[in-house]
Structure 1
């Protein structure tokens, strides 16, 4: 199906372009969300008559997104979750959790604006991309930790998932031969009894 884009759509085209897309994509996404019109003579004339209004609305949305991006750029948010000693979380941090965290800080972000291919399942510092507008992207940092104190230590650069942090031993000192030596002679406890 051919459609006329009413706004810039990532990986598809700019406002005003006529592009060919799959029918389902047009019917289920582009048309209901008002991002496109079917490409026919009547809609082309309608688009040309409304072009100035659409461009002004797009510019207004972009400037609002840039304001939000400036206040979010480089910010770090602490997420406290329970996790095991090795740093594997019992749950995960998904896009809806990120939206809720940002909402608590006063930012209104939709779930589809969070670029998170896989949920976060380990403690540590994680970069997350937010697509606030088709032309405005911002990166934030999530500090996922077991407690606020651990989050503070992580933000200073400490690795809480290393063997030294977990066991108090340098990782280089943890060699298998230190724990089991097949050539060593062991006394059988039953023989001494």
Structure 2
């Protein structure tokens, strides 16, 4: 289906471009959300008549998104979840959870703006991109932890997902060495 774009749409084009898209994409997303018009002669004339207003509205949205982005770029959000010893979550962190955490901190972000390809399923610090406008994108860090203390340790750079058996092995080795040295000391006497 041929449509006239009323705003920039990802890989498809910019404002005013007449592009061919799949019928379902046009009927279910572009047309109902007001992001495109069917490419008819009447709509072409309508677009030319309203072009200045459409571009002005797009500029206002971009500036509003840039204002939000300036406060968000590089921000770290902490989300507390239950997890096993290996760091595997007993659930997952979705785009809705990230959006809710940002809203709780006073930012106006919808869950559709959180570009999380797959849900987060383990503890750690994860980079999550946000697309606030077609031309404005930022990245935030999501610190998923079992507790506030663990979140602070992860933020400092500590990896809590790895099980560290080295300390136990070193202690056992040191105890064996002391026992062997004690045996040598008693046999020399």
Structure 1, residues 11-33: CA drift from partner, whole Å, max 9, x if none? 10000000001111111100000
Determine the C-alpha separation between the residues in 1 that align with 2:100 and 2:111: 9
Q: Any idea what SS the aligned residue of 1:99 has?
A: helix
1:101 lines up with 2:101 in the alignment: yes
| Maintained 8 Å contact 1:83/1:89 | yes
Determine the C-alpha separation between the residues in 2 that align with 1:143 and 1:109: 18
The corresponding residue for 2:186 is none
1:72, CA displacement in angstroms?
0.2
The corresponding residue for 1:119 is 119
Determine the C-alpha separation between the residues in 2 that align with 1:110 and 1:54: 22
Q: How does 1:60-139 map to 2 (within 5 A)?
A: 60-139=60-139
Q: How does 1:100-179 map to 2 (within 5 A)?
A: 100-164=100-164, 167=165, 169-170=166-167
CA RMSD for the aligned pairs?
A: 1.4
The corresponding residue for 1:50 is 50
Determine the C-alpha separation between the residues in 2 that align with 1:163 and 1:123: 13
| Maintained 8 Å contact 1:6/1:35 | yes
The TM-score, its normalising length taken from structure 1, stands at: 0.85
| Maintained 8 Å contact 1:5/1:37 | yes
Where structure 1 has 5 or more consecutive residues not aligned to the other structure, the ranges are 175-193
| Maintained 8 Å contact 1:128/1:142 | yes
The TM-score, its normalising length taken from structure 2, stands at: 0.87
| Maintained 8 Å contact 1:6/1:15 | yes
Determine the C-alpha separation between the residues in 2 that align with 1:59 and 1:97: 29
1:109, CA displacement in angstroms?
1.2
1:85, CA displacement in angstroms?
0.6
Deviation beyond 6 Å, 4+ runs, structure 1: none
Q: How many residue pairs get matched?
A: 170
| Maintained 8 Å contact 1:163/1:170 | no
The corresponding residue for 2:174 is none
